[in-house]
Every structure is written in structure tokens, then in C-alpha cells.
Structure 1
Amino acid sequence: MQLSKKDLLAELNSISKNTLMETLEIEITDCGDDFLIARMPVNYRVHQPDGVLHGGATAALAESIGSFAAHVFTDLDKYFVRGIEISANHLKSVTGGYVYAKATFLHKGRTTQLLDIRVTDESNNLISVCKLSTISLPKRK
């Protein structure tokens, strides 16, 4: 039985308890057949000393939503997924509000996946462009 969108979002957010995602207040907010979207508040937890969004927090948001996308679209009964590389180009500073990360697949292979993650602010300005490579490996029986 396929989960409803609402139930899938609730399940994904519930497994984030006691993780970096909970610490950074990352919440998965939307999903579709080929994408996931999450948001993260920009506040003191993710600021650099000068009060702008830390690039490491942005990368953590991107890797979190990209990894979740790889998990959602992989047969987890047969495979486990691990991130193997992330890159981030930061284009604009943010001091408050929320940032949103949308993960979509550039390549969805049997073994490797490449995801494009676009991070935007509340006005849909592009903040960062990230790429995440993941690998799906068979579970031992």
C-alpha cells in the first residue's frame, strides 16, 4: 500500500527525531513523483558570527533533503543508500526567515544517483546550488 503524501511527509519528519535535522529544525514540507522539498529557519543556530546563514548549515540542509530523496526513491528492502560527495556554490547571503531546498534527480541509476538541490529564500531568490552523489548498495542477506 502506497502512503498518502500527508502520511509520507509525517513519516519522513518523524524519523528525523534526535538527529542533525531536528537540531537545525529542518522540516520536509512537500514531495512529488521526482522531488522533495524541505525548509530550515535562518536563526542563531545556523548563523556565522556576522549574522548570515552559514554555508555548512546550507550544505547540511542540502545533504539531508538529497539523502531523503535517494531513500524515498530506492527499494530499501534490498538496498541501503549513502552520500558519497556533496558540493555547494553559495550565491547570496540570508540573515533571517526560512530557506527552502528542493532536491531533484539528475541521474537515478541502479548504483549511483546524482541530485540537484536548489536552495532559495522566502522570495524564491537562489541562495545556493548544490549537487549530491549517493550510492545504493545491496543489503547483505
Structure 2
Amino acid sequence: MAATVNRTSVEDLNRANIGKLPEHIGLVITEVAEGRVVGRFPVRTELVAHTGFLLAGAVLSVADILCAYGVSTAWPEGASGFTTAEVKCNFVGTLREGEVVCTASLLHGGRTTQVWDARVEDAATGKLMAAFRCTQIILYPRG
């Protein structure tokens, strides 16, 4: 694993949510550690599909946001940015009401790539709703 540094906190990430999609979704970051970010959001009418169930896009968005935030917890030395190369999500459950908790964890932290997993669960029962994985390409200054 490449030498990394944590460049963020719960407060920093909740501030970053303001005025952007995470705030609209209602995402609140509850935990930040090296290689790990946890957040929660309530199931609200605006996030429910015509079928009466939570929109898959809301779940996928939160998982992607938390994994992207996670890059800042394991920032490779000398890196200047990152971009998403691939995402995959398997949905195995949903909600009509309640609260969702999502935990993003670093699976692989190399100098040029990071692979993140996110587990999306019903906050009340711990039942798995979705398993998400993404690959981030780490960017460095040219020159």
C-alpha cells in the first residue's frame, strides 16, 4: 500500500455536503477514519420511486459519494486528484421508510488506483440493501 495521509474529518465532509447532492439527499457523515467513511440518510418522499420503494439511484449515489469521500482518508503522497473509473452495484433489498446507513471501506489502496467497497443497510435491522464497488484512478501533477 502506498504511503497515505487522512486529509478530512466528519466536520469537513458534512461541510462539503452543503448545497450539493449529498445535502439534498439528506446524507449526514457520522464517521471518518483512515480507509473508512460512514453516513446515514432518511428515506423521504423525494427519494421514493413511483413504485413506493427507495430509488436505486439514491442508494447508488450515496455509496459513490462515500467512497469518493473515502479517497481523502487514504490520500497517496504527491497525488493531486482522482477520478472514478468503474462502479458496480448489486441491489438485494430496499425500504419504504426508515433510515439507511452506508459504510465505505478501502479494499485496495495503491499508488495509482484505489478500490472501495460500500455496504448499504437498513439502519434499523442491519439488513443488506446493496453491495457497491468502485475503482478510483489516482491523479498526479504532470511534469
TM-score (norm. length: structure 1):
0.88
Equivalent residue, structure 1, for 2:121: 120
Aligned to 2:132: 130
Following TM superposition, by how much is the alpha carbon of 1:50 offset from its aligned partner in structure 2, in angstroms?
1.6
Aligned residues: 137
Q: 2:66 aligns to what SS in structure 1?
A: helix
Q: Which residue does the alignment assign to 1:66?
A: 67
Structure 1 gaps, min length 5:
none
Q: How much does 1:106 deviate?
A: 1.3
CA deviations on 1:34-63 (whole Å, 9 max, x unpaired) are 311011111112111121111111100000
**Greater shift after overlay, 113-122 or 33-42?**
33-42
Q: After the TM superposition, which parts of structure 1 deviate over 6 Å for at least 4 consecutive aligned residues?
A: none
Distance in structure 2 (CA, Å) of the matches to 1:128 and 1:33: 23
* Match of residue 84 from structure 2: 83
Inter-CA distance 15–77: structure 2 relative to 1 (3 Å threshold): farther
- Of 77-86 and 90-99, deviating more is 77-86
CA distance in 1, matches of 2:40, 2:61: 12
CA distance in 1, matches of 2:16, 2:78: 17
Deviates more, 1:117-126 or 1:42-51: 42-51
2:26 paired with 1:21: no
Identity rate, percent: 25
What is the root-mean-square deviation in Å for CA atoms of aligned residues?
A: 2.0
> What are the ranges of 5 or more consecutive residues in structure 2 without an aligned counterpart?
none
Code of the aligned partner of 1:54: L
Q: Which amino acid aligns with 1:23?
A: H
Name which structure has the greater RCO, CA cutoff 8 Å, separation 6+.
2
